[in-house]
Structure 1
Amino acid sequence: MSGQRTPHWWFDGSTPPLWARLLTPIYAAVTALRRFCYRRGLRAQVHPGVPVIVVGNLVGGGTGKTPLTVALVEHLQRAGFTPGVASRGYGRADAKTARWVEPQSGPAMVGDEPMLIAARTGARVRVDADRVAAAQALAAAGCDVVVCDDGLQHYRLARDVEIEVQDVRRRYGNGRLLPAGPLREPLERAADCTFRVLNLGQPAGTEVVDPSVVTAAAGQEWPMWLDVGNAWPLAGGRGVPLAAFAGQRVHAVAGIGEPERFFVTLRAAGIAVVPHVFADHHGYRLDDFDFGSALPVLMTEKDAVKCRAFAQPGWHAVPISARLPEAFWNALLERFRPAA
């Protein structure tokens, strides 16, 4: 089963097709005009009255924003804050209706990523295509920090901190704007961000780069490792270490921005992967799992929130947690401490 994939020419060095190269100047002009209007005050920005942290990326596709959002909320909670999360809730039904994410909410109504974030953190999560309205609702509900998931280009929401997330393997691809390349905005936009986080896509301790801060031309880069937790049975029961599947063949299910990252994680644990790639935000049905053999099924947490209602024995969710240097958290929290 094949899912939606990013165009190969974004990252493999090949020449983009003519139609993409012809459309790129149009996209560039529209985005430049939009940025100009906000920077010159021709379009107003709105601040909700509490600090706003925006997590996003400059490239299309998955870069690890959701694990970082979860980690941000958890660290803010431990520091004594009451953070809330504003999200568009991509792929949900009736996307024009704003909703709170509740335990009884279904991913079809609020989106898979908001469901995952709410379940992992217990924080208030508001889904709304209008991020300003979502942030205002969170502030009114008692949240003293708003974390905006995937909102770097949502300029109407004024923000105090911007965090750009990059996939360390892909970076900015061919450096072109959409659709000839993966960039949502020009490269110089990265210099405006408060922090740049590099998703290494591997557990801490296996890094291939210096884990200290790397000084780059556009600012500081902070490494982010992805640690794997116990695999949890979707039908209920206790979690088991991922190592319990070492030496076995499993059906690996991924409907995320970068499915191969999940498969690599499983292979690194000694698991023989039979990969099944679905479109990002795919709405699963039971017959999607007619794989022809009764092997264990391992899937991402994001996929699992949409499969619990019809989960079968042997299906497991594999949670991923983001880990960043303590210096990053210190630098972030320093921005919320009152001036002496």
Structure 2
Amino acid sequence: MKNILPGAWRTRGWLACLLWPVAQVHGLLVRWRRALYRRGIMHSRRFDVPVIVVGNVVVGGAGKTPLVMALIKHLQAQGLRVGVVSRGYGRAGRQSLEVRPNTPVYVSGDEPALIQRATGAPVFVADRRTDALRDLLAAYPATSAVVCDDGLQHYALQRDIEIVVFDDKGAGNGWLLPAGPLREPWPGRLSQGINLVLHTGHKAAFAGYVSRRQLASQAVAADGSRLALTALRHQPLVALGGIANPEAFFDMLRACGLTLDQTLAFPDHHDFKKDDLDALSGRIVLCTEKDAVKLFALPAPPGLKLLAVPLEFSPEPAFFDALDALLAPLLSPLPSSHGQQTH
């Protein structure tokens, strides 16, 4: 520890260094848990369908859900029947259920609701993703491939392709929780099953594929009507975001030439209530698609014009080429390269 902390104290901060011993214990537990699954001591389950897991090795959002939707649309365009499983973070209840267009968001979770509405793919949520996938295949036995929204550390579900997503923060200070943002060692985890790395920010922190993110040219109201963002220029606007990085959304709005008189940043997966909107009577309010699945269901105060601004997310073509090459042999019954112990 004497050889590590002095330089790290300057570059990583005193609090991170104080938490460093706890992070080392966390790292040991992570490695032991993974080893238990690999050796079959802890059981994992394989299903007769290719499973693509999209997740993070860092805490916080990095563009995972937009990537999940882009993957689904890419696979659907090839004629594949795609299903989705998710835990449904922040939802009420733990039972397995199908997310339908009329499923209340507090029951499904905001991200599963957004995915279902944006893609039309069957989406199942459960506290255990294996339960969600079991019920998905029972209801839709012709499913060609499954995308698991998050769940990189959910080893109980065997997977065939692992995709990890980073934004401009990269791996942060490179230390595990709680001294840093890492859930798993990086780049150590890269050699233990990760197939594809995608960067969703403006500047990739290290090697991997890149994607383009920009706001759509039109905002969408609750009734489905659309309004060009250019029509909102020179108007006083309010922007709100209950996502992992709301400031990034606000910056993108400003980059479109919009004037934000007020910005309201809420915690990720914020459970919006009527009170959150009452003070915005008579204002034009812009939000993300993820927030809109909750906000559009609330009674609007007089004069409020609430508009969701979709995000256009486009991974580079080489990323999809690499994905297709990995997936092609899996569409026939071949053993998984990520198999552990079949339950």
TM-score range, shorter chain: 0.7 to 0.9
Which one of the candidate residues 245, 248, 263 is aligned to 1:258? 245
Q: Following the alignment from structure 2 to structure 1, what is the Cα–Cα distance between the partners of residues 123 and 291?
A: 19
The sequence identity of aligned pairs, in percent, is 41
Q: Following the alignment from structure 1 to structure 2, what is the Cα–Cα distance between the partners of residues 171 and 17?
A: 17
Q: Following the alignment from structure 1 to structure 2, what is the Cα–Cα distance between the partners of residues 79 and 247?
A: 43
Q: Is the 8 A contact 1:197 1:221 kept in 2?
A: yes
AA aligned to 1:315 is: L
Q: Is the 8 A contact 1:58 1:190 kept in 2?
A: no
Q: CA deviation at 1:323?
A: 0.2
Q: CA deviation at 1:251?
A: 1.1
AA aligned to 1:287 is: D
Task: List per-residue Cα deviations over 1:87-112 (Å, max 9, x = no partner).
Answer: 00000011x21110011101100100
Q: Following the alignment from structure 2 to structure 1, what is the Cα–Cα distance between the partners of residues 46 and 13?
A: 42
Q: CA deviation at 1:245?
A: 1.8
Q: CA deviation at 1:330?
A: 1.9
Matching of residue 225 in structure 1 with residue 212 in structure 2: yes
SS at match of 1:62: coil
SS at match of 1:251: strand
Which residue does 2:276 correspond to in 1? Answer: 288
Q: Following the alignment from structure 2 to structure 1, what is the Cα–Cα distance between the partners of residues 280 and 75?
A: 45
Which residue does 1:100 correspond to in 2? Answer: 98
Q: Following the alignment from structure 1 to structure 2, what is the Cα–Cα distance between the partners of residues 251 and 185?
A: 38
Which residue does 2:112 correspond to in 1? Answer: 114
Q: Following the alignment from structure 1 to structure 2, what is the Cα–Cα distance between the partners of residues 99 and 237?
A: 27
Which residue does 2:20 correspond to in 1? Answer: 21
Q: CA deviation at 1:81?
A: 0.4
Bigger CA radius of gyration: 2
Q: CA deviation at 1:326?
A: 1.8
Q: Following the alignment from structure 1 to structure 2, what is the Cα–Cα distance between the partners of residues 77 and 97?
A: 28
Q: CA deviation at 1:17?
A: 5.3
Report the RMSD for the aligned CA atoms in angstroms: 2.2
Q: Following the alignment from structure 1 to structure 2, what is the Cα–Cα distance between the partners of residues 80 and 306?
A: 31
Which residue does 1:299 correspond to in 2? Answer: 287
Q: Following the alignment from structure 2 to structure 1, what is the Cα–Cα distance between the partners of residues 159 and 46?
A: 7
Which residue does 2:200 correspond to in 1? Answer: 199
AA aligned to 1:222 is: Y
The 3 A distance-change label for structure 1 pair 32 and 337 is closer
Q: Following the alignment from structure 1 to structure 2, what is the Cα–Cα distance between the partners of residues 292 and 157?
A: 44
AA aligned to 1:76 is: L
Q: Is the 8 A contact 1:163 1:194 kept in 2?
A: yes
Q: CA deviation at 1:331?
A: 1.8
Q: Is the 8 A contact 2:96 2:124 kept in 1?
A: yes
Q: CA deviation at 1:132?
A: 1.4
Q: Is the 8 A contact 2:54 2:151 kept in 1?
A: yes
Which residue does 2:311 correspond to in 1? Answer: 320
The TM-score with structure 2 as length reference comes to: 0.85
Which residue does 2:88 correspond to in 1? Answer: 89
Unpaired stretches in structure 1, ≥5 consecutive residues: 1-11, 202-207
Unpaired stretches in structure 2, ≥5 consecutive residues: 1-10, 333-343
Q: Is the 8 A contact 2:212 2:316 kept in 1?
A: no
AA aligned to 2:151 is: G
Q: Say how many residue pairs are matched.
A: 313
Q: Where in structure 2 are the equivalents of 1:150-161 lying within 5 Å?
A: 150-161=150-161
AA aligned to 1:144 is: S
Greater CA drift, 18-27 or 102-111: 18-27
Q: Is the 8 A contact 1:89 1:110 kept in 2?
A: yes
Which residue does 1:178 correspond to in 2? Answer: 177
Q: Is the 8 A contact 1:131 1:157 kept in 2?
A: yes
Q: Is the 8 A contact 2:16 2:180 kept in 1?
A: no
Task: List per-residue Cα deviations over 1:221-252 (Å, max 9, x = no partner).
Answer: 11111132221112x25211222222333111
The TM-score with structure 1 as length reference comes to: 0.86
